[in-house]
Amino acid sequence: MTHNQHYIDNQWIKGEGHILPIDNPATETLVSKLNLASEAQTLSALTTASQAQKAWSKLASYERAAYLNKLADQIIQDASEIGAVLALESGKSLAEAEAEVRYGAEITRYHAEWSRRIEGEVIPSDSATEQLLLMREPLGVAVCLIPFNYPIYTLLRKLAPALITGNTAIVRPSNHTPCSALALGKTIEKAGLPASVVQIAVMDHEVCATLCRQPEVGIISLTGSVEAGRQVLDYSKTHITKVSLELGGKTPAIVADDADLAAAATAIINSKTTHCGQLCTAVERVYVQQKVYAPFLELLKTGMQQRAFGNRLEQPQLMGPLINKAAQIRTHQLVQAALAAGAVCETGGYLPEDKGYFYPATLLSKVNHSMAVMQEETFAPVLCVMPYEHLDEALALANDHQYGLASVLFTNRYKDVMRVATSIEAGELYINRTPADPYQGYHAGWKKSGLGGDDGKHGMLEFTQTRMVALNFA
């Protein structure tokens, strides 16, 4: 791959930092390498982004929308090229990678549609000759910190609302999957956005910390781990910079005795094995009503056993790899610790010997909440199952956790649906389906799963601040 330069100030420049190798996680072969951006290069990008923001914010929002629609058109034209790069560095199939790119174009168009709908408020004053006007304004430069699992979709999920609300953006891709972001940079360049409105630089943690601590940064938007969220909060305290954090998850799925068991099992297995379980909303904990526990466990076991793994560029129907060796080892350690504590491995649970950072679809029963595998986000194809007697018990188990991002309920009893909908400690609840983050909704977590959120009106407004004007007309 040749995507090894940074997109700074509308130019493609070689980094001045140390060399970063990028591996194909399915084969462990080197697919690219690049020099990271230096602190000086990154701060130069911030300076030009701050200067460009002044003119960008003065455009009518409809004009900014026109640029976003041009970008979406260009993304569609370049989807196969970007997808090919993404597949190579992430372990996804070509079809899945290209679909992610196309979905990113959709969310870009969605945010362009907000151009005529970003509203303020008129608030009655205590004076008969005064009106209070609440206006929405951009924050300045948005620093967008992107994860490795869905690097194109998440990039556009942050970039589009930042731009439509009048901010400029500096994108820091994951160092595991930077080349697809740089390929998208070529597309942004072809779409003709004004100079320095979008800049993409791959950097190490130290340079990223320096960037985030600058006064010109208006918001830091992160999708990542809880530990990464803590680091961003530390960065933000220097200038009390606004943050939006979408962090870890440990999605519980409650399966009631009236559920369509086959459909529920299929949905849960697909959720857990898509992209090798590397989704923050993937089902991780399953609580099954005792009456149907045995047959449901068998359905899960059979389905997980059928999910083979391999190189998806050669066999796209297979489950792909984890992102790196460290993730593979961590996953196996979590499983082995659970087994040592009394869990039963129904299938999977071994460390593959061949090349690639694979881990088999793994199902654990006889687990409990004292085990790390039930407390930590695995971000891997490891599913834990427990029985319950009554809904109150299932709710207590589902809520007994540090995370609160997404949750799932399989039942046809509307009273149970409402009980869970008013009691679950999570930002999302999906009924008889697994999470899919509809971009017109609001993807926001409770507890350690984050601050702020992405998607929809509320996610877009994360990139704004308010100004109240007291207008006296006496």
240: left (phi over 0), alpha (psi -120 to 50) or beta: left
Would you call 246 a catalytic residue per the annotation? yes
- Catalytic residue, candidates 100, 216, 246, 346: 246
Would you call 284 a catalytic residue per the annotation? no
Asked if residue 139 lies in contact with residue 460, where contact means CB atoms within 8 angstroms, the answer is no
State how far the Cα of 314 lies from the Cα of 194, in Å rounded to an integer: 40
Task: Identify the H or E element spanning 258.
Answer: none
Beta bridge partners of 133: 122, 469
- Catalytic residue, candidates 280, 384, 428, 462: 280
Inter-CA distances, 470 with 61, 122, 464, 465, Å: 24, 10, 20, 17
Nearest to 144 by CA among 285, 46, 28: 46
State how far the Cα of 282 lies from the Cα of 95, in Å rounded to an integer: 20
Nearest to 169 by CA among 204, 145, 148: 145
State how far the Cα of 217 lies from the Cα of 169, in Å rounded to an integer: 9
Strands 11-13 and 283-289, how do they pair? Answer: unpaired
- 427-454 burial code (b ≥16 CB/10 A, e <16): bbbbeeebbebebebbbbbbbbbbbbbb
Secondary structure (3-state) at 263 = helix
Point out the residues that are catalytic: 246, 280
